[in-house]
Structure 1
Amino acid sequence: MNDRSFIDLVYHGVFVIPPEDYNVIFLRVVGTTRILPIWIGEDAAAAIAAREQGRAPVRPRAHDVLLQLADSHAGSAMEVRIDGYVRGRFTASLVCGDGTVLDMRPSDAILLAREEQLPISVAEDVLRRTGVFVSADDLSRGFGIDCEDVSDTADEFSSASGDAQADADFESLLRSMGVEESDLRGDSSEDDKTDL
């Protein structure tokens, strides 16, 4: 597992997504509009909101104690990683200076990363399965997320399968069968329709 690739993320906040009003953390791949959405409970959302409003808890929270233990026994905390996705749930780890990896709930890990200004990353295989592409315009209008770091050129994760050559081969196969992208989107004109 040490040879896994991890990709840097930018935290954009907790959003309430209708119609069920679920709380979702939006993490975005640096330089892209690919979002890693992580659904969290109301308690975790409230804890993150309190931190972002500068309210400190009266007593230490579980992640505060974990950070103290990590600092005293495993070297300082270095990074938070979203490292798994099992049965619809993300897993996260706190990576310490001496190489110790501590398992955490993603919401606690992200809160810790926010408080300690730690980098957040995601395993490439997890991102491929769970990342969502959202246009920069939709991110801006719908969520107030500015994507200034996004280039106009396609990034390495813009392919549907994660393999640009496989996507090109699949597109070629569809075209050889007479299927165009506009057919799949339902963009065909009235002239293209035939009476059956």
Structure 2
Amino acid sequence: MSPSPSEPAAPDHFAALGQPRRYELDRNGLESAYLERARLLHPDRFTGAPAGERRRALEASAALNEGYRVLRDPVRRAEYLCKLSGIDVDSSEPQGGAPTMSQEFLVEMIERREAVDEAREAGVSALDRLRAEVEDEAETVLDDAIAALAAAEVRRAAEALVKRRYLQRLLDEIDEASTESP
């Protein structure tokens, strides 16, 4: 069945793009499905249509584009799978289900931010070493999240994804320090 702007929105990005609701996806299949649907829903195909239909085509096209952006990005796809399972890692509200990080982990992040400051003072090579260390850890944490999703352990996956966000912020700080470092 081909998409139409008059049809109700698909229940999720996976359904909108004809993909199974799981982490592992065929990237070529995802891209092919996206291109086919994007062609069918392109707003230019509806230039002579009534205003309401043009608006729905534009909305459907925008939703399809967002779905494709989410599913082709490994981190966003994992976060989206958690959200579909009732745990919104973006939420700061208790009802959103996002895990809270332990006090121990938060203290560790504070210490690591201090390590960024120390590396900034030590120079670019120290920042590069720290970046490599944090990148490796972020990759390992994402692998943990993916394994947890495969085992249907969504809470554990969400915890790993929140931890990865902290690590990504740390990487951003390292990058910022690198641009400031002489």
**What TM-score does the superposition give when structure 1 sets the normalisation length?**
0.25
Q: Which has the higher helix share?
A: 2
Q: Which has the higher strand share?
A: 1
